[in-house]
Amino acid sequence: MREITVFTHRRPEQTAPALALLAARAAEAGVTLCLDEEETRKHGLTAGPGLAVDVPAKDDVELCVVLGGDGTILRALQRYAFTGVPVFAINFGEIGFLATVEPQDVEDGIRRALTGEFELLRLPAIVLDMPADGRTSAAEPGGRPTAINDVAIHRKVGERVAEIAYALDGEEAGSVRCDGLVVATPAGSTGYNLANGGPVMAWGVEGFVVSFIAPHSISARALVAAPDDPLTIHNRSREPLDVAVDGRPAGEIAPDGRIHAHFANDVGLIAQLPGSSFYRRLREKFGRLAS
C-alpha cells in the first residue's frame, strides 16, 4: 500500500481546505495519508478512505507532504533525516524558502506529489557531538542533534555578553565577545546567518558558514569553512550558553565547555519542481519581503 506522512503547521484553519483536497485526491489515487496523534487532534480527523489517523510517523513511507512554512518543513526534514524519505512542501508560511510550491498552486502541487512529478535535492546538515566534555547537556540521550538549517549558540536572557571562540581543523579561527554564534548549512545561510551579515551560500555548495551574533568587534567576520574541517566551539564565558538546533532547544555549553560539530552530506531529501532555480527562489522570496 502506498503511504504518505502529512505534517501541518499550528494554524489548522489555514491548512484544512488543502488537507481535505489532499485526502480526496489520495483516496482517488489509492494512497493512504498517515497523520499522527497531534495532527489528528489538531484537525479533528476520523479515519476514512485514504486517511489513517493516530498513526505514529514511520520510516517506510514513500513521501512526507508538508502544509506549512519553513519551521514545519524543517520539522519534517528532521524527522526524516538519514531515511531517504523525500519532503514535498506546500507553503503556508511567511517565507517558505524551503517550500516546493506556493499555496495558489496547491491543486497542481498535490497532483505532482501523488504522481511523483518532482526532482530531489539532497540537503547536507551540521551534526553535533554533545556532550563533548561531560558538562554539556544533550538534546537526546546518547543522540547527536542534527541541523538541516543551523546551530545557534546564545547567551542566556539577562546574562552578560558571552565570549565565544571557535576552531576549525584544530586551529582557532575567531574569539569574540558577542551575543552568540551561528553555524549554518547552505540551506540555512539565508536565515539567521544572513541577519548576522553572513554570506548566502547557493544550494549545492559543500561547506558551512560560521557567523557571530552582535559581535563587540569591528573586525569580526563570517567565515565559510570547508566541508571536511571539524568545528569546535568553546564557551569562554562565566555563564552557560544555550544551544538551539533548527530553532529548537538542544542543550547548553557549560562555562569553559565546548562542543564539536561536523558537516554531513545527503542527510535530508527535499522535493523540487523540475527546472527550479535557487537564484530565482532567492530573488522571488527576498524581493517579496522588500516590496
- Could you give the residue numbers annotated as active site? 70
DSSP output for 157-204: TTSPPEEEEEEETTEEEEEEEESEEEEE-TTTTTTHHHHTTPPP--TT
User: Could you tell me if 61 and 104 are in contact, meaning their C-beta atoms sit under 8 angstroms apart?
Assistant: no
In which residue are the cell numbers 562555562 written? 255
- Phi/psi for 252 (5° steps) reads -150, 165
Q: Provide the b/e sequence for 90-129 (b: ≥16 CB within 10 Å).
A: bbbbeebbbbbbebeebeebbebbbeeebeebebbbbbbb
Q: Provide the b/e sequence for 139-174 (b: ≥16 CB within 10 Å).
A: beeeeebbbbbbbbbbbeeeeeebbbbbbbeeeebb
